[in-house]
Structures are given as structure tokens and as C-alpha cells.
Amino acid sequence: MLDVAVRRRLGAFSLDVAFRGPEEGITALFGSSGSGKSTLVSAIAGLLRPEAGHVRLGAETFFDAAEGIDLPLHRRRIGWVFQDARLFPHMSVRDNLLYGLRRAPAAERRISLDSVVALLGIGELLARRPRALSGGEKQRVGLGRALLAQPRLLLMDEPLASLDAGRKAEILPYIERLRDDVRIPIVWVSHSLEEVGRLADTLVVLDQGHVVASGDVASVLTRLDLFPPDSPYEAGAALAVRVVDHDEAFALTRLAFDGGMLRVPRIARTPGERLRIRIRARDVMLAASEPRELSALNVLAAVVEEVRAADDSQTDVRLAIGSARLVCRVTRLSAHKLDLSPGRRIFAIIKSVAIDGRSRDASASRPA
């Protein structure tokens, strides 16, 4: 368990944060610029000394103000990946990777060069210099170097922020593989809901140096108080699904989740694979009775769980579909006409689904 509780005043800004994250998997720190994400990461790494609190990873204490413990960065054994991969330009990719490996004591080198090269798909890049790499390739090499330093904790501070959409699509599957295959905790700093919904296990939402929400990513994303209409972030839900099969005649894929089945444009995944999808609040419609002869393929029986006024004209609704949760944003008039209240049985019509991890030629959201 990653256990963080720190306080520090920096001029007019005050950081007062407490959260826990899994010892394996990704904890995402999410919030707008100035919310305290990078300051918090610096405190975890040991570059900023808190005035009070602690930072612990399992049985290891990195910092404890009351006990006078404050391990320096190199003793915390933390890997750090930034927006800029910060590769040594005069070294080949192989030598950049070996630099990370040489930083770790020989007795603790449990992650090998060959395994990192295979994990990140960089075998063909080993002889190149950084100037011959794309942005996504540089980030993969930077990540490999951080892994080869044998970290106990990996900090990734908005590592995709400088990449365009194409390069992000290129590197995200490798991050997913890292999350699933490398048994170390990862702290992922981001202001992108798409990244968070796709990658994170635990989500910590920061605002002005304080935690406003923390917990399982699916539960936090469907809180109705976090993403109002005037927020720069779009309300929605993340669902864990399993690929069932493909309908080759109509180029569709069936996805199962605890609550039903979804049909989406065909994705390049094999039956049995698990992935996450994002369904935005604006892509869900509601009907009092089951609609017939509709172009939308996905109509699911749901129960209204919570209703909350979003602003003067809009209402947010959280729906329960099995153990899964969806969010829908409708007009106040529609909420009135449908008599939306907790316990109301309703039908959710899903207009489109944002699929994570589909083939490059189908990376955008499509009607579903």
C-alpha cells in the first residue's frame, strides 16, 4: 500500500493531502494546473520536504515528520518519467537503457534489459540516437531507463502531455502492458480524463492543494458533484469490459460487462481480452419505455441511482446497470417529464462508446 499524508505551505499555496493507493497498479493524481499534482509528486520523491505527515510504501517509510525520517531521493529508489524523456543525446538507445541498469545494485537487478526491450517493443531502436526517435519512441525509451533502475515506485509526471494524439495512441498500449505485467506501484499525474479512465486503478482528484475525491476510478468518475457543465472536464463513466466475439458480417464487436452487452465497431482485440471503455454523459439518452426500431445498437435497462441539478438548465443522473454505473446529462425539462428520481426504472440509450486500445484505423469514437 502506498500511504501518503503530507502538509506543506508554499507562500499563498497550501498542500494538505492524504490518500492511499495500491501496491500494484496505477494511482492517478488528477486535477487542473495549479491543483498541486507536481508539488505532491515532489514530496513523494523527496525533493520537497513536508512540514508534517508521512510517505510510506508497504513497510518502508520514506518520510515521517514525527519520527524525523526523511530518506533522500536515491535511497527511496523511485523511478521518474517526465513530459520530456530527457535522454542523453550522445548515447544510443541501448546505452541510455544501460545507464538506468547501472544505477541499481547488482543484487537488486530483478528487471532485465531483455525483458524491458520486449515489454516496450524497442528492440529495433537500440542502435539509434535520441534525435532519430519519434516523441512516442523517446518516451518508451525513457520509461525503459526508469524501469531498469529497478525502482520500488514509479512516478510518471504527465508523460504524454507533449505528445500529439497519434503518439499517445502509440504509447498507451505499452503503459497498459507495464501496469499489468510489472509488479510495482505507479503514480500517474494527469489532467486528461481519457488517460485516467483508461489506465488508473485508483483516482485522487486534487483542487487547490486538497483532495476532493479519492477511490476506485469507476466510482470517482461517476460522482455527480465533480464535473459540472462549466468544468473543463467532461463527465462520463469508465467500464471494465470483456471482448466476447466479432460479427464479421457487420464489422462489430460484442463487449460484456456486469450489466449487459454492448456492440461497438469492430476492434482489434481477441475474444476473452479485457479492456476499459469510456462512455461520456452526453452520449447517453434516456427513455421511459424500451424503444423499438432505433438506430442506436445499445439499449440497456437501468435504475436511477442519483439525480443532481447540474446548473439552471441541466440535470445529471447516475444510473445503475448491474454493478456498473453510467452518468447521463439531460435538460431539467426532460428530467421532469421522465419523472427521474432514485429507484426509477429507465432505459439508457448509448449513442457512442469511446474504445480504448482499438486498432489505429479505428481510434476515434464511433456510433454504437
Residue-wise pLDDT tens digits, 206-249: 999 999 999 999 999 999 999 888 888 889 999 999 999 999 99
Judge whether 226 lies within some domain.
no
- CATH number of the domain that residue 6 is part of: 3.40.50.300
- Whether 362 has a pLDDT exceeding 50, the answer reads no
Q: Are residues 298 and 190 located together in one domain of the fold?
A: no
Report the C-alpha gap between 252 and 235 in whole angstroms.
26
Q: Are residues 23 and 91 located together in one domain of the fold?
A: yes
Domain that holds residue 277: 236-367
User: Residue 142: how many CA atoms within 13 Å on its side-chain side?
Assistant: 25
- Whether 29 has a pLDDT exceeding 70, the answer reads yes
What pairs with residue 247 in β-bridges? 252
Stretch 315-343: mean pLDDT: 96
Judge whether 230 lies within some domain.
no
- CATH number of the domain that residue 360 is part of: 2.40.50.100
Judge whether 304 lies within some domain.
yes
What Cα–Cα distance (Å) separates residue 2 from each residue in 23, 108, 197, 328? 6, 21, 20, 33
- Whether 66 has a pLDDT exceeding 60, the answer reads yes
State how far Cα 155 lies from the chain centre.
Answer: 13
Q: Are residues 214 and 249 located together in one domain of the fold?
A: no
Q: Are residues 63 and 201 located together in one domain of the fold?
A: yes
- The structure's pTM equals 0.86
Query: Helix or strand or coil: residue 46?
Result: coil
Task: Count structural domains, the chain.
Answer: 2
Burial-class residue 270 by CB neighbours within 10 Å (0-12, 13-18, 19+). Answer: exposed
Which of 82-91, 188-197, 217-226 ranks highest by mean pLDDT? Answer: 217-226
Give the pLDDT confidence score for residue 167 in this predicted structure.
80
Q: Are residues 191 and 284 located together in one domain of the fold?
A: no
Give the pLDDT confidence score for residue 361 in this predicted structure.
31
Domain-terminating residue out of 174, 190, 221: 221
Q: Are residues 119 and 240 located together in one domain of the fold?
A: no
Contact (Cβ atoms closer than 8 angstroms) between residue 93 and residue 130: yes
Domain-terminating residue out of 152, 186, 221: 221
Report the sign of the C-alpha dihedral through residues 181, 182, 187, 191, in that order.
negative
Q: Are residues 184 and 324 located together in one domain of the fold?
A: no
Alpha helices in the chain (DSSP H): 37-45, 73-76, 93-102, 113-120, 135-148, 165-181, 193-199, 217-221, 332-337
Long-range contacts of 247-254 (CB under 8 A, 24+ apart): 252/297
- Whether 366 has a pLDDT exceeding 80, the answer reads no
Q: Are residues 151 and 253 located together in one domain of the fold?
A: no
H helices, E strands: number in the chain: 9, 22
Q: Are residues 187 and 246 located together in one domain of the fold?
A: no
Q: Using only C-alpha atoms, what is the Rg of the chain?
A: 22
Report the sign of the C-alpha dihedral through residues 291, 297, 301, 303, in that order.
negative
Contact (Cβ atoms closer than 8 angstroms) between residue 325 and residue 318: yes
Instruction: Say which residues have a Cβ less than 8 Å from residue 41's Cβ, sequence separation at least 6.
Output: 29, 155, 157, 187, 189
Task: Look over the chain and give the mean of its residue pLDDT values, rounded to a whole number.
Answer: 89
Give the pLDDT confidence score for residue 334 in this predicted structure.
96
